[in-house]
């Protein structure tokens, strides 16, 4: 008969009750800078993220945005997805694999692709489960072969798609765009778009340019069947910081002014 462990002395936890999450001192200090219920203009939010109380991590944190859209992702005609080249890059080194043959393979190599191959690359991925790259690009004639490894690439977000420009004969330009900071986004089941827009080491002006670029692209991707308020809520955060709720009206105003 298994031994039933004794309850620890001094324990106040009751059966079935969750232990409340204890925030660290630095995280708590960051939250104390936020005014409850306040919507921050983009420049104000970026100023907060630059404060030592927010940017306390010992590494170059990612800067992320989350945007709540007024769409129903369950309906195919309200699916929001797209891609944008961030004007100031992402701050990340991206390894790119290109599925191409002949002259197009040579064009991809000259553009800076890290891995280039045809059917042999597809076979390597299929047999060895080799996925040592961050983005994949393919020429249209290679997609019948790439489709064989769709179950490996798809769940990891690596499957090339014409909708975001990664299935194209212009592989040289596609590689250069990915290397210079092209990101893809897609609304999730809750109607939220999550995206990384840079690093904490970026200047406020660099982050502002990237954020406005992705908001502009999201606005342009608005489905015609979307009713009511499209851009509902948005927030910005560092990897280890609380989210700062943005005033979406100020962002829309900045886009119009720009």
- pLDDT, tens only, 235-244: 999 988 888 9
The average confidence (pLDDT) of the chain is 88
Give the dihedral of Cα atoms 52, 56, 62, 67; nearest 10 deg.
Answer: -70
**Model confidence at 162: pLDDT above 80:** yes
Residue 111's pLDDT band (cuts 50, 70, 90): very high
Closest CA to 219 of 85, 90, 82: 82
User: What is the pLDDT at residue 216?
Assistant: 95
Q: Which helix (H) or strand (E) holds 215?
A: helix 204-220
Task: Tell me whether strands 231-238 and 244-245 are parallel, antiparallel or unpaired.
Answer: antiparallel
Give tens-digit pLDDT for 97-109. 999 999 999 999 9
Mean predicted confidence (pLDDT) in 125-152? 95
pLDDT at 23: 58
10 vs 6, 7, 14, 151, 217, CA distance in Å? 12, 9, 12, 51, 55
- pLDDT, residue 131, reads 94
List C-alpha distances in Å: 157 to 49, 183, 234: 29, 12, 24
pLDDT for 67 beyond 70: yes
- Residue ranges of domains in the chain, CATH in brackets: 35-90+182-257 (3.30.190.20), 96-179 (3.40.50.790)
Distance CA 226, CA 243 (A): 26
């Amino acid at each position: 008969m298994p031994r039933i462990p004794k309850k620890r002395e001094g324990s106040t936890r009751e059966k079935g009750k969750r232990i409340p999450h204890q925030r660290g001192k630095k995280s708590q200090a960051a939250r104390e800078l936020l005014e409850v219920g306040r919507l921050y203009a983009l420049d104000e939010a970026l100023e907060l993220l630059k404060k030592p109380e927010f940017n306390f991590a010992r590494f170059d944190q990612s800067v992320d945005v989350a945007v709540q859209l007024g769409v129903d992702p369950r309906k195919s005609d309200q699916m929001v997805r797209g891609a944008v080249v961030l004007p100031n890059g992402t701050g990340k080194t991206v390894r790119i694999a290109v599925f191409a043959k002949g002259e197009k393979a040579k064009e991809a190599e000259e553009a800076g692709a890290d891995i280039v191959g045809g059917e042999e690359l597809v076979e390597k991925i299929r047999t060895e489960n080799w996925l040592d790259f961050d983005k994949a690009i393919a020429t249209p004639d290679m997609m019948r072969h790439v489709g064989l490894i769709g179950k490996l690439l798809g769940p990891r977000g690596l499957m090339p798609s014409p909708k975001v420009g990664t299935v194209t004969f212009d592989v040289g330009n596609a590689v250069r765009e990915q290397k210079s900071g092209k990101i893809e986004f897609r609304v999730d089941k809750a109607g939220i778009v999550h995206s990384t827009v840079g690093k904490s080491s970026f200047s406020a002006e660099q982050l502002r340019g990237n954020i406005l670029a992705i908001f502009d692209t999201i606005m342009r991707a608005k489905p015609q069947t979307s009713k009511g308020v499209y851009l509902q809520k948005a927030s910005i955060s560092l990897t280890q910081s609380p989210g700062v709720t943005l005033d979406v009206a100020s962002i829309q105003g900045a886009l119009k002014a720009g």
